[in-house]
Chain A
Amino acid sequence: MTAIVDYGVGNLFSLSCSLRSIGEEIVITSSPDEILAADRVILPGVGAFGDAAALLRESGLDKTVLTCAEDGKPLLGICLGMQLLFERSFEFGEHRGLGLLKGSIVPMEGRIPEYLKIPQIGWNSLSFKKQHPLLKYIRNGDYVYFVHSFFAADCEESLVAVTEYGCEMTAVAARDRVMGCQFHPEKSGEVGLSILKAFCEMN
């Protein structure tokens, strides 16, 4: 059973459909008890970092997520949910994240050539930096679907895979059982489903 943390941001329809399609039982919940009782936890998110971090704290679910990480429960952040796992973000000011992964979220603007459009929208390939169970069913070079204007930097320690968009950008980060994907596995076809399947096999 995987719990999807519902803290009021984003649309969880596609994510829940994708998990059900691989046979995973899910619960979309804002209840700390249900989250703590689940085998695995997914932290989703779209929108602005500051707003999402505030919602997560107001709901008190930040503490629940931190407890899950301490307990060694597999935790997967997706897109903005992945960015929230880091220490801080420089999206419109400076905001504090959950601090589960070392590093900062920085804007693409000024870090990539001007001819590249921001946000990066579309399918880009993954280059593996190290082996990780999350990637066990996919291959180096597989394509996944990105929609983002910011990315995680200064996170060599947790870097698992990158994508090339004017510079190398963090695509997958992980430390122990805390994992994050900058892209949307629920929108990345068979490759994305394979990543979710690998996650759902972790206990």
Chain B
Amino acid sequence: MLTKRIIPCLDVRDGRVVKGTKFEQIRDVDNPVRLAEFYSDNGADELVFYDITASYEGRALFTDILRETASRVFIPLTVGGGINSVEDFDRVLKCGADKVSVNSGAIRNPDLITGAAQKYGSQCVVLSVDAKRVGGQFRVFSHGGRVDTGLDALKWIRDGISRGAGEIVLNSIDTDGVKNGFDIEMLRAVTEISSVPVVASGGAGSAKDFVTLFQKVPGVDAGLAASIFHFGEVQIPELKNLLAEKNIPVRRRVFP
């Protein structure tokens, strides 16, 4: 049976892992390569590396880190942040990324999704959406959740899928950083209209939040979180044991 995936997300700036709470305060966590190895050894099903560097030097450092990670960690790697062109896809795929996630770059230029899907296949293209409730609507925000684009999130996701996005990461700004659980309502709405896998992001505060997520939104394929893993508040082996106890299919070691 296909398992539900648990995905730690590493925000990387100037070669270090950082995590913003509500996208603002940033705290240094760890060395990205070491943290990635730690998660892989502990049963993470996939890793997301998010490049939050602005400078050219930082970007070069990021690809070095990505290359080093991909040569040591043999689980799927998704890379996002600063992906604005098909050339950016090429740059990170060459360094060992398996999937590439687009966000603001695709909002500015939706043809980026189409072009990348044609060149690399839909399985490579992840549409990451930061959404927030505005006037009874789920609204898409860009630039790390700071700018209201006016786009309806459900409409944007449908459009992205029809352009070739092979997976959706839905990050609810309303629950992000609050640590009180995933945004069940928003995720239900998205899984109902999505024909491709949906990754839930934003709001995990405990292992129980993942149980609630997979029980209440059966259409969701994966749960993503950052700080609770980085600070050791949730350990992946314990989380997977808990999910398995609740009959939620997860990958655990049969292998010794």
Contact = CB atoms under 8 A, between A and B. Distances in A.
Nearest to B44: A189
18 contacts: A11-B93, A17-B70, A17-B74, A18-B74, A119-B123, A121-B167, A122-B2, A122-B3, A123-B3, A123-B5, A123-B45, A139-B254, A143-B252, A143-B254, A187-B75, A187-B76, A189-B75, A190-B255
Interface in A149-201: 164-165, 186-194
B74 A192 contact: yes
B212 interface: no
User: Which secondary structure characterizes the binding site on chain B?
Assistant: loop
B94 A117 contact: no
User: Which secondary structure characterizes the binding site on chain A?
Assistant: mixed
B98 interface: yes
A141 interface: yes
A203 interface: no
Give chain A's interface residue range (CB within 8 Å of chain B): 35 or more
Give chain B's interface residue range (CB within 8 Å of chain A): 20 to 34
A193 B71 CA distance: 13
Contacts of B95: 13
A121 B166 contact: yes
Nearest to A46: B121
A120 interface: yes
B197 interface: yes
Contact of B254 (A124, A142, A146): A142
Contacts of B197: 117, 121-122
Contacts of A189: 40, 74-75
Given A14-B74, A117-B196, A122-B221, A139 B255 contact: yes
B208 interface: no
Given A187-B76, A187-B98, 15 more contacts: A13-B70, A13-B95, A17-B71, A17-B96, A21-B72, A117-B195, A121-B123, A121-B221, A122-B5, A122-B45, A123-B251, A143-B251, A143-B252, A188-B75, A192-B74
A145 interface: yes
A145 B75 contact: yes
A125 B74 contact: no
A127 to B, nearest CB: 11
Interface in B7-51: 40, 45
Interface in B86-118: 93-96, 98
A194 B253 CA distance: 13
Given A21-B72, A139-B254, A187-B76, A14 B1 contact: no
A191 B252 CA distance: 11
A65 to B, nearest CB: 23
A143 B3 contact: yes
